[in-house]
Amino acid sequence: MQRSRGRSSSAFAFGVLFILCLAFAYLESRAFGREVAIPMYGYILAAVAALVNLFISRFLPDLYHLNLRLLGNGVFVSCTVIVAVYLQKYSAYHAMEFVLLAAWLGTLKTVRLIVTLSINTVLAILFIAAMYATGVSGFWISLVTVLLVTAVILGGYIGYLTERARRMLFLQTEINRSITNRQELWAFTLIDLDMALSGVLDFKELIGLLKKHLEPVIKFDSYILTSLEGKGPKPVADKIEGDLFENEDQTLWSEDLLGKLTQTRQATVSAEHETVKGFLGMEKKRFTSYRLDVPVFNDSKLMGVISLRRESEAFDDLDMIASVSIASQAMLIFKRSTRNSAMVLEQNIPDPVIRPKKSEDATSTTTVSSSESRDMEVTDHSFAESDQTLVPKEIVDQMKKEEASAKKTITLMSRENADKIAIDRYRTAAVEGESLSILIIEVDGLSKLREQDGDQVAYKVFAAIVKYIFSKVDKEKDILGRYGQNGLSVLMPRVDMNAAEKFAEMIRQFVGNARYKTAYGEKTATLSIGVAAITDDTGDYNSMVKRADMALFVAKKNGRNCVKVRL
């Protein structure tokens, strides 16, 4: 930061010094002409050096020892003033020149205060010594000494203000950078939650996984958590980690704290102290740690609390907001997983929308599962049946030809099973130096469709899209897996990023133009797709997936219904 700001400030400083040197040279020529020309030539030489340094600071990419050039140029001018005093005896304008140079040195933004004071003090002593050596009267020496001391103090004060402003700016820049990084981690964490928590049906397991996702966003030394399942107003801890919560001799979650969390639904921060014996046995409080209590709600019911502690610094507003946001997102995923689990158990309920033909009743089955913990089987009724989609006839005929040899049942792997195969394919591609791409696809608006018209309508639209994508992929190589509640992933071995992007755009355009007839009317859908490919800098399979996930995030932020690539 100092280098970036030093370029403009140093150019300005050299410009001011150039003007001062020319003014001093003019005064010397007017006062002494060519009788004692050494100081005049010294000022001219210093002006030329200042001009050269100005161009170096302004136009060259490297600053080339900026501090040394600033101090060297300034000290050279000050020494020229001292030489002028020695050669010409003291004149009033010599003291004014020194005062201006002392103030100029204090304004340098890249020079520390201690350096400014030291150099000005040494130069002032040399100035007084030159006056004494030329036989100037003691009265004038005393008077000039007071003036120079004032100049040194003035230069030091200006240097103090400059350094303080520089440090404040640096601190604010670091704070802003830290906040930006934490906000990015927060966004990535919210994305990762959907992958990590989908399918989790045990609340204790969920709250334990939630702690792991708080770690990248919030720094803490110790944590303790509890799930409030029948534990009353004074719950016990389910898990403790770290020294700051050990040997706790008081109620970890008091009634007042639980009441405050329930009423505000926000995280609370506090500073923890302990009572110790001080001087002469007197009791005093000693700071131990800062504490952050994060509530976990299911609708209006407080389901659990995660408490974090650290010694280094207090928890700030971003810690409070991010922790509650992550906890709320985790509970939404948990509710969705438990609801979908209940749906799977009730599969004997007749399907009001997707009905197999009478000739297929004995052989065709439809298994609907929105949980990523299970493979999803989609019965392959004709994708272009009149009761399912409305697309141009030529497209229907072409699709029927392509699907003639396809299986009657399409298996969309669970996230876990797809990852196991994909990791092996990734390693093979990395060793063989082959191309490998991944598409992460999300059906836009499927959650809204599920809320308005029910799960079966949403499933019908999703299943039709899956079957179309399945008809277009290489069934021997490509791997289709669940990804979140409303999406899927397509791993494409031996396909580079450009080809993967074209494939993604092709299916996006087709799905966007298709229409789906359901019991609740005609429905439409669009796709947001993130694309990434294996590269030398990818690292591993998970990092490639994260890049594709981030591309999907950008696609959704840009209005959805588009394809984005993450290099």
- Say how far apart CA 152 and CA 160 lie, in whole Å: 12
**What b/e string do you get for 323-342 counting C-beta neighbours within 10 Å, with b at 16 or more?**
bbebbebbbebbebbbebbe
- Among residues 235, 210, 183, the alpha carbon closest in space to that of 298 is found at 210
Tens place of pLDDT for every residue, the chain, 567 residues? 445 555 667 888 889 999 999 998 888 888 776 667 888 888 999 999 999 988 888 777 776 788 888 889 989 999 999 988 888 878 888 889 889 998 898 888 778 888 889 999 999 999 999 988 888 888 888 999 999 999 899 888 888 888 888 777 777 766 667 777 777 777 777 777 776 777 777 777 877 787 778 887 888 888 888 887 645 555 677 778 776 565 554 567 877 888 888 888 888 888 877 766 766 667 777 777 888 999 888 877 888 888 888 888 888 888 888 888 888 888 888 877 776 654 443 443 333 333 333 333 333 333 333 344 455 555 433 333 333 344 455 555 655 555 454 444 566 787 888 888 888 888 888 888 889 999 999 999 888 888 888 878 888 888 888 888 988 888 888 889 888 878 899 999 999 989 999 999 999 999 988 888 777 778 889 999 999 998 876 568 888 888 898 899 889 888 889 999 987
Whether residues 335 and 379 share a domain: the answer is no
Looking at residue 489, its pLDDT comes to 92
* Cβ atoms 293, 307 nearer than 8 A: yes
Q: Could you give the CA distance from residue 462 to residue 113 in angstroms, rounded to a whole number?
A: 67
Is position 136 within any domain?
yes
pLDDT at res. 535? 80
Single out the residue in 300, 316, 343 at which a domain terminates.
343
Model confidence, pTM? 0.40
For residues 563 and 567, give the distance between their C-alpha atoms in angstroms, rounded to a whole number: 13
CA dihedral (444, 450, 455, 460) positive or negative: negative
pLDDT given at position 507:
93
Residue 73 lies in a domain: yes
**Burial of 89 from C-beta contacts in 10 A (0-12 / 13-18 / 19+):** middle
* Statement to judge: residues 328 and 424 lie in one domain: no
If asked whether residues 266 and 133 sit together in one domain, one would say no
| Cα(548)–Cα(440) distance, integer angstroms | 6
Q: Give phi and psi for 564, each to the nearest 5.
A: -125, 145
Spell out the alpha helix ranges (H) of 405-533. Answer: 415-432, 446-453, 455-472, 497-513
* Assigned domain for 350 exists: no
Q: How many domains does the chain have?
A: 3
* DSSP-derived 3-state class of residue 222: strand
Specify whether 434 is located in the same domain as 335: no
Q: How many CA atoms lie within 13 A of 457 on its CB side?
A: 20
Q: Where is the domain boundary, 315, 343, 371?
A: 343
Determine, yes or no, domain membership for 178: no
Same domain, yes or no, for 162 and 209?
A: no
Domain endpoint, select from 343, 369, 399: 343
Q: List phi, psi (to 5°) of 439.
A: -110, 130
283 assigned to some structural domain: yes
461 and 524 share one domain: yes
Distances (CA, A) of 426 to 218, 268, 436, 504, 564: 32, 44, 7, 20, 21
Burial 246-260, CB ≥16 within 10 A → b, else e: eeeeeebbeeebbee
Token couple for 179: 């906040």
Residues 433 and 302 in one domain: no
Q: Give CA torsion, residues 128, 133, 135, 138, to 10 deg.
A: 30
Please give the Cα distance from 458 to 463 (Å, whole number): 9
Note whether 445 and 512 are same-domain residues: yes
Q: Write the CA distances from 507 to 268, 378, 385, 412, 525, integer angstroms.
A: 47, 19, 19, 17, 12
Q: 479 is in which domain, residue-wise? A: 358-565
Domain of 255: which CATH number? Answer: 3.30.450.40
Residues 128 and 210 grouped into a single domain:
no
- Looking at the fold, whether 372 and 330 belong to one and the same domain comes out as no
Shared domain check, 363 and 337: no
CB 182 within 8 A of CB 322: yes
Q: How far apart are the C-alpha atoms of 380 and 320, rounded to whole Å?
A: 48
**Do 426 and 554 fall into the same domain?**
yes
The answer to whether the beta carbons of residues 383 and 398 sit under 8 Å apart is no
Whether residue 186 is contained in a domain is answered as no
Contact by Cβ (8 Å): 527, 444: yes
Please check whether residue 87 lies inside any domain of the structure.
Answer: yes
Q: Please say whether the beta carbons of 182 and 217 come within 8 A.
A: yes
- CATH (domain of 505): 3.30.70.270
Here the tokens at position 321 are: 């907001």
pLDDT at res. 343? 44
Residue 423 lies in a domain: yes
Report the candidate in 286, 287, 288 with the shortest Cα–Cα distance to residue 245: 288
